[in-house]
Each structure stands twice: as structure tokens, then as C-alpha cells.
Amino acid sequence: MIDAHASIGTVIAVRGAVVDVRFDSTALPAIDTALIVDWDRPEPLVLEVHSHVDPQTVRGIALQATMGLARETSVRATGAPVSVPVGDAVLGRLLDVVGTVRDNGPALPKDTPRRSIHNAPPALEDEKSATVIFETGIKVIDLLAPLAQGGKAAMFGGAGVGKTVLVMELIHAMVEKYQGISVFAGIGERSREGHELLTDMQASGVLERTVLVYGQMNEPPGARWRVPLTALTIAEYFRDQKHQNVLLLMDNVFRFVQAGSELSSLLGRLPSRVGYQSTLATEVALLEERIASVPGAAVTAIQAVYVPADDFTDPAVTAISSHMDSIIMLSRKLAAEAFYPAIDPLASSSVLLDPLVVGQEHYALAERAREALARFEELRDIIALLGVEELGTADRLIVKRARRLQRFLSQPFVVTEAFTGTPGESVSRADTLAGCKAILDGEADDWAESSLYMVGTLAQARAKEAESSKASQGKDAKP
């Protein structure tokens, strides 16, 4: 709310999303205070105080477009940080960075509670460690990079390898399994993607337990920089006040870093490594450390992260990955070979892949699978040059089983059914482990590799193999 005695200032400089405001009063607004610009546009313009330039001037970051903003325009200091609506009233709604409804629906009730977007993370002694496996129904994730309920997982990949599709499939897969609230943060999303997600959620009936928060690609960097905090504030309210489990989905966290980099340049800071802002690690930590679970309520975060130029050593990627429990790497090479989801089984990892968490059987099977796939990767160049016939008996057997396992770990998705015509499959962890064990034990050695490609369980692959064998026998029987 705006203080009746709020101090009044005037705009003295505008540099894109950075606005300097001079106040004649003795006390300047505190850092992170919200400022309201009294201009002649129907849409309000909110600034957030970033720094104090001198005893009378503050430098603010605009959360909406500043086009048309003139010097000497009046600005009111609210005396409080940006606050956004929270609670049951925002369920099923689409909000922007300052909590304004953007779905053309009715306005929120006047008694809707509001909460500041700047909150401290829970104390370390109050946080709860995540050790409960969160089944996704996606075979390669559940086998080699299991997610934790109340943990943080990130999906890293370059452009066009399937990050958004994977996040969408996880949303769909968790609708029935996950009893709680979902909060989706669209950071730097395309308008088309936001519209598609909204209509898909309306059609599937899950929107009533979901909050969508968007800072889109066409919005200024201030909106993209602060929209994750808006989504996180809503998630924290359900965790702390309602004691409900929350699924927090963010797509794409790299755009948050990118927005911070744009603002850093506008603020006149010297860039750091690869041109990123010098405050990169701090900004990422301030966001990620707030994603925490407490006894009685878990916040499970799944984040898509764009990898620029497929360089996994990029400073933004390494800064984000250091906070994750599960790291899922998407491979352009696998996508080019039509293995979907294009998850690299050797580069992906999880702190939960431990015999004390997943059990000795699962751990041993995952190690066997990694070992077979790693050996196959080592032999690829030899096979390409000399052919598989030149390998020893043991290596030929490993290659045979690794190729079949690789195909078995592919899977049709529900969200791609409209494009592929193949019904999506969700596979339980028990069926995934049973299928992988059977392949590594040699049960599918005589099967056609195509029988294991894009199926769900091993039983479906067996039926596909039987149908294929029957068709080939019928073809051979013809005169």
C-alpha cells in the first residue's frame, strides 16, 4: 500500500530500464523500495530502488517499459518493497511481475493478502533435507538422475533440444501423482509459449491448482529479473502459511541471469567473466537459497536452463548447477539421432543416486547401465572405422546390450502426441528397473533394436517384438 506521507521525487534521467529519481526530502527511500511513477499512461510504472547515487538521488530499475517517460515526471515512494497478491485467490490465474492479473479475467478480491517479493530464506536449522524419491514416470530420469520431493533439479540444454517439452511433460506427469500447488514462472518466455501453456492447462483441468507468473521476452529486463522472486513469494506463502506442498517450475533460469547482465551494463558496472555481471553468483544464490523445504511442507523446484552455444562450462551454467540436487543434461547429439528425451545418461547425475536412498538394487543397476553405456561410447570410434565385427566377444555383447538399453530409455511423451501420433507413456520406477535389468541380463539380445525404441515398459517392447516377428514370418511364407 502507498503511504499517505510518502516522499515525492522527480525523474532526472532515463537510460532504458534504469531511471534516476531526485528527492528533496532528507531521507531517501531504502534499497528495494517500490516507487510509483505518476505519468499519463493507463498502465502504472513501478520502479525498484537499486542504489543511492548521492544524498538526494536514487537509481531505480523499471519493472515495466519506460517508453515515453519524461524528465520532471513526479514519482511517489511507497515506503515498502514491491508486494504481490498471494493465497487461494491467485490459483488458476496468470500474473505479471508486480502481481497484476493478465488473463483477461475478473480482478482479484480486495481482501487478497499481499507479500513482499524480498524475503529471507528459512533458517538452516528449520530446513528439511530431501530424501523422498519423486517419481516422474520418465525412465532415464528415474533410473539415473532421480528427483527428490523437496529438492532442486535443473535441465540444462542448448536451443532446440527439448527443455520446455521436458518441463511440460513433467507438469503433465505430476498432475495425478503430486497433491499440492503448482507455481510456474515463465522467465523470458515467448508470448506463444505462454499462451500455449495457459490453454493446455485449461484443457487438462489442472489450472485451478496452478499459478502462472510471467515476465516475457518482450518485457524489459527489470521484469525478467524480478519475476522469479514473484513466483517464489507465492510458493513461500503456500509453504509457510498454508503448509502445502508446492511444485515450482521455472523456464528459463538463464533468462534471469541474462536480464541481470543487461541491467548490470545499464548500471555502468564493469563486466566479469564472459561478459556476465560481477554479481552473478550472488544473484543466483539469493534466488536458489530461498527454494527450501520445511517440516510439513516441501517446495520441489524443477528448472530449465538454456546453455549458450552448448558450452556447459559457461559461468551462468556452473553458477546454477552448484545449487542443484539433480542435474539433467540434454544432448544435441542424442536429439540428432532421434533419441527422445535427449537426456545424456553419462553427464546427468543426482545426489539421490545413493544406496541409502534408492536402495542397493537400484544403485547397482544404475551403475551397470552407466558402465555399459560408457563402454559403448568408448568403442564408437572403433566401430565407425572397423565395424562391430572387429571387436572382441565381450565388447560385442556390451555394445549389443548398450544399444538396446539406449533405445529402451527413449520414451513417447503425452505433450508430443499431437505431433507424433504416438500415445504418451508414463512408466513406474519398478517397471523401469525391471526392464533395464532384463536387457542387461541378455533377455532382449535376440530382439530387433526397433522393438525397444519409443516404448514404455518391457512388456510393450516384447509385444512389439512378437508382432514384428509374426509379420516377418508371414512375409516369408508368401510364395
Q: Are 81 and 116 in contact (CB under 8 A)?
A: yes
Q: 404 catalytic, yes or no?
A: no
Given 59, 93, 163, 239, the catalytic residue: 163
A 10 A CB-CB count for 25 gives 12
Q: How far, in Å, CA of 21 to CA of 73, rounded?
A: 9
Given 135, 189, 236, 465, the catalytic residue: 189
Q: Counting Cβ atoms within 10 Å, is residue 126 exposed (0-12), middle (13-18) or buried (19+)?
A: exposed
- Cell numbers representing residue 452 in the block: 525397444
Q: Are 97 and 131 in contact (CB under 8 A)?
A: no
Residue 408 neighbours by CB under 8 Å, 6+ apart:
139, 435, 436, 439, 444, 452, 455, 458, 461
A 10 A CB-CB count for 458 gives 21
Given 15, 177, 190, 333, the catalytic residue: 190
Q: 375 catalytic, yes or no?
A: no
Q: Which of 430, 468, 434 is nearest to 449 (CA)?
A: 468
Q: How far, in Å, CA of 408 to CA of 429, rounded?
A: 14
Torsion of CA 100, 101, 103, 108, to 10 degrees: -170
Burial 163-192 (b: 16+ CB within 10 A, else e): bbbbbbbbbbbbeeebebbbbbbbbbbeee
Count the helix, strand and coil residues of the chain and give each as a percent rounded to the nearest 5.
40, 20, 40
Give 409's DSSP letter.
Answer: T
Q: 163 catalytic, yes or no?
A: yes
Determine the residue type at 461: A
Determine the residue type at 46: V
Give 438's DSSP letter.
Answer: H
- Cell numbers representing residue 29 in the block: 527511500
- Cell numbers representing residue 257 in the block: 541471469
What DSSP line would sit under 322-368, residue for residue? TT-SEEEEB-HHHHHTT-SS-B-TTT-EETT-SHHHH-HHHHHHHHH
Residues carrying an active site annotation: 163, 189-190
